[in-house]
Amino acid sequence: MSESDTDGGHGDWRSTTIASVQADHNPEVAAAVERITQLRQSIDNIDAAVIALLAERFKATAQVGWFKAEAGFAPADYQREESQIKRLHRIAEDAGLDPDIAEMYREFVVTETKKRHARIAAAEGDSQVLDVFA
């Protein structure tokens, strides 16, 4: 049996997009395709929740930035950052997640938050900057 006989003439299906056409004649492949489809729906739902949570997080940190600017505080708070590093590492370990992934997340949100806080401070505390109170 040639490759084109097993893949409908579309090349090596194992290295391409998963589609039900590969499962037409193989119940094991059909079961795998169904399970992958279910898991991907779950992944899509999680991604949507993560994006919504990030939006809420940045709204809250923008408000912190506004209050810092109003009080004359610097955009960065290194003591807070250090405690957050330790806290997120503990959370990651407890959840069975590689702490390096938690660190990459923390680095992303802290970097973006500092940029936003600096823009808020430069706007002299303008509460409309970055939709702080949206």
Give the per-residue SS3 of 13-78.
HHHCCCCHHHHCCCHHHHHHHHHHHHHHHHHHHHHHHHHHHHHHHHHHHHHHHHHHHHHCCCCCCH
Give pLDDT < 70 ranges for the chain.
1-20, 22, 124-134
- Domains of the chain, first to last: 3-131 (1.20.59.10)
- Whether this prediction's pTM lies above 0.75 is answered by no
CA distances from 63 to 11, 76, 103, 106, 129 (A): 53, 14, 23, 18, 10
Tell me: the pLDDT tens digits for 113-126? Answer: 888 888 887 886 55
